[in-house]
Structure 1
Amino acid sequence: MTVNGLAEFLRTRRAQLTPEDVGLSAFPERRRVAGLRREELAQLAGVSVSYYTRLEQGQASHASEAVLDAIATALRLDDHERRHLHALAAVRPNRPRRPPAERVDAATQDLLRTLADVPAMVLGRRTDILAWNDLGHALLAGHIDRHAVDRPAERPNLARLLFLDSHTRELYVDWPAKARTVVGHLHHVAGQFPDDALLAGLVGELSVKSDDFAALWSDHRVKPCEAGSYRMRHPTVGPLTVTQQNLVIARSPEQSLCLVTTEDGSSAADTIALLRNSLGQRRDSASAAVAEVHHRLANPL
Structure 2
Amino acid sequence: MAAEDSDLGGFLRSRRARVNPTSFNGATGIGRRVPGLRREEVAALAGISVEYYARLERGQKVRVSEAVLGAIARALGLNDLEATHLHDLAHSVEKIPTAARAQDHHGDAVRPALQVITDALGPLPAWITNYRMDFLAGNREARAVYAPLFANPEDKGNRARFIFLNPVSRAFECRWERVADETVGALRWYATRHPDDLELSKLILDLNLRSPEFRSRWDDHNIVHHRSGDVHVNHPAIGDLKLPYERLDVTHDPGLSLFIHVVEAGSTLARRLAALVADGFPASPGGSVCAPRGL
The interval holding the TM-score normalised by the smaller chain is: 0.7 to 0.9
The 3-state SS of whatever aligns with 1:253 is: coil
What residue identity is the alignment partner of 1:38?
R
The 3-state SS of whatever aligns with 1:205 is: helix
Please tell me whether residue 113 in structure 1 is matched to residue 119 in structure 2: yes
Q: Is the 8 A contact 2:127 2:258 kept in 1?
A: yes
**1:83 & 1:263 partners in 2: Cα distance?**
35
Q: Is the 8 A contact 2:9 2:58 kept in 1?
A: yes
In structure 2, the partner of 1:11 is 13
In structure 2, relative to structure 1, the CA distance for the partners of 1:2 and 1:194 (3 Å cut) is farther
The 3-state SS of whatever aligns with 1:185 is: helix
In structure 2, the partner of 1:144 is 150
Q: Is the 8 A contact 1:227 1:244 kept in 2?
A: yes
In structure 2, the partner of 1:27 is 28
Q: Is the 8 A contact 1:126 1:186 kept in 2?
A: yes
Q: How does 1:1-301 map to 2 (within 5 A)?
A: 4-20=6-22, 22-24=23-25, 26-27=27-28, 29-91=30-92, 92=94, 101-142=107-148, 144=150, 155-262=156-263, 266-279=267-280
Deviations 1:49-95 (A, max 9, x none): 1211111112341111000011111112121211111111112459x
The 3-state SS of whatever aligns with 2:146 is: helix
**1:8 & 1:155 partners in 2: Cα distance?**
30
Percent identity between matched residues is: 37
Deviation at 1:251, TM superposition (A): 1.4
The 3-state SS of whatever aligns with 2:68 is: helix
**1:162 & 1:64 partners in 2: Cα distance?**
38
Runs of 5+ consecutive residues of structure 2 not aligned to the other structure: 97-101, 283-295
Q: TM-score, normalised by structure 2?
A: 0.82
**2:137 & 2:8 partners in 1: Cα distance?**
34
In structure 2, relative to structure 1, the CA distance for the partners of 1:49 and 1:263 (3 Å cut) is farther
Moved more, 99-108 or 209-218: 99-108
**1:210 & 1:278 partners in 2: Cα distance?**
37
Q: TM-score, normalised by structure 1?
A: 0.81
Counting helix residues as a fraction of each chain, which structure ranks higher?
1
What residue identity is the alignment partner of 2:116?
D
Number of aligned pairs?
272
Q: Is the 8 A contact 2:110 2:137 kept in 1?
A: yes
**1:168 & 1:28 partners in 2: Cα distance?**
41
In structure 2, relative to structure 1, the CA distance for the partners of 1:145 and 1:133 (3 Å cut) is farther
In structure 2, relative to structure 1, the CA distance for the partners of 1:219 and 1:265 (3 Å cut) is farther
In structure 2, relative to structure 1, the CA distance for the partners of 1:267 and 1:141 (3 Å cut) is same
**1:253 & 1:100 partners in 2: Cα distance?**
9
Deviation at 1:231, TM superposition (A): 2.0
Bigger Rg, which one: 1
In structure 2, relative to structure 1, the CA distance for the partners of 1:252 and 1:28 (3 Å cut) is closer
**2:58 & 2:176 partners in 1: Cα distance?**
35
Runs of 5+ consecutive residues of structure 1 not aligned to the other structure: 282-301
The 3-state SS of whatever aligns with 2:240 is: strand
Q: Is the 8 A contact 1:231 1:241 kept in 2?
A: yes
In structure 2, relative to structure 1, the CA distance for the partners of 1:23 and 1:125 (3 Å cut) is same
What residue identity is the alignment partner of 1:55?
L
Deviation at 1:199, TM superposition (A): 1.1
**1:82 & 1:205 partners in 2: Cα distance?**
28
Q: Is the 8 A contact 1:163 1:169 kept in 2?
A: no
Deviation at 1:277, TM superposition (A): 2.6
Deviation at 1:200, TM superposition (A): 1.2
Q: Is the 8 A contact 1:129 1:158 kept in 2?
A: yes
Q: Is the 8 A contact 2:169 2:176 kept in 1?
A: no
Q: Is the 8 A contact 1:140 1:168 kept in 2?
A: no
